[in-house]
Amino acid sequence: MKIFLDTASLKEIREAAALGVVDGITTNPTLLSKESGEPEDILVQICETVNGPISAEVVATDAEGMMREGRHWAGVHRNIVVKCPCTTEGLKATKALSSEGIRINMTLVFSATQALLAAKAGASICSPFVGRIDDIASPGMEVVRDIVQIYRNYSFPCEVLAASLRHPMHVVEAAKLGAHIGTMPYSVFTALVKHPLTDIGLKKFLEDWEKAKKEMGAKAAR
């Protein structure tokens, strides 16, 4: 599974990218609004930090406006994938932009029916929002499972991006279900590496090594 970071923070992106396991970035208007600076400048810097798909979302709500914004974003940097919301207008824009060769990440997907339409409209990525489905007491991962199965059944060339992942077990579940991509906040990303037994084990190895070195030193001095 590809790992994307769901943030527009360059600090977080730089720190995570240094590990060498980040495949792409998803942003949205909310995430960009938290950062200081021009959204376009921030996106260019993100593209120059991570060489993978970087989602930039349109804010128009009509198809014409989305197409205009989508073409603009696609021209800003080769790494940019245009995010369109899963509405009737978003589907029209997705069909038109994907026919022009522009990659679309269909966002705000909450059902398998929406995902089916996203793939048929030519989206290259479809983003079900797992956590937000969980928030309304419905199992978000079941939507991911359904979408993965439907895309497999028909060999749709559309990747399932499990979004709105809120904790490490969401990441594990998404990977078990065969989601192609999981996007997560920096806090979830950093939690993926942590394990108390790793820390305890490492401490013990280092203590034993120090002990052995001292003993060897003492032997040599005799």
What does the alpha-carbon distance between residue 104 and residue 2 come to, in Å, rounded to a whole number?
17
Name the minimum Å distance from CB 6 to ligand G3P.
5
Q: Compare residues 55 and 96 and give the one whose CB is closer to ligand G3P.
A: 55
Contact track, ligand G3P, 117-156, x by CB under 6 A: ------------x-xx------------------------
Residue from the set 12, 164, 174, 189 that interacts with ligand G3P by CB under 6 A: 164
184 binds ligand G3P, rule: CB under 6 A = no
Binding mask 1-30 vs ligand G3P (x if CB under 6 A, - otherwise)?
-----x-------------------x-x--
83 is catalytic: yes
- Outline where the chain has alpha helix (H): 10-17, 29-33, 39-49, 63-76, 88-99, 112-120, 130-135, 140-153, 168-177, 186-193, 196-221
Side-chain-side CA neighbours of residue 215 (13 Å): 6
Smallest distance, ligand G3P to C-beta of residue 215, A: 53
Give me the catalytic one of 2, 11, 34, 83. Answer: 83
List CB contacts of 44: < 8 A, sequence separation 6 or more.
76, 77
Q: How far apart are CA 38 and CA 197, in angstroms?
A: 43
Give min distance, CB of 155 to ligand G3P, in A. 26
CA distance 35 to 43: 11
Nearer to ligand G3P, 31 or 67 (CB): 31
Residues 39-68 that bind ligand G3P (CB under 6 A): none
Q: At what angle do helices 10-17 and 39-49 cross, to 10 degrees?
A: 0
3-class DSSP assignment, residue 184: strand
Q: Which is nearer to ligand G3P, 43 or 96 (CB)?
A: 43
Which residues are marked as active site? 83
For binding to ligand G3P (CB under 6 A), which residues are involved?
6, 26, 28, 129, 131-132, 163-164, 166, 183
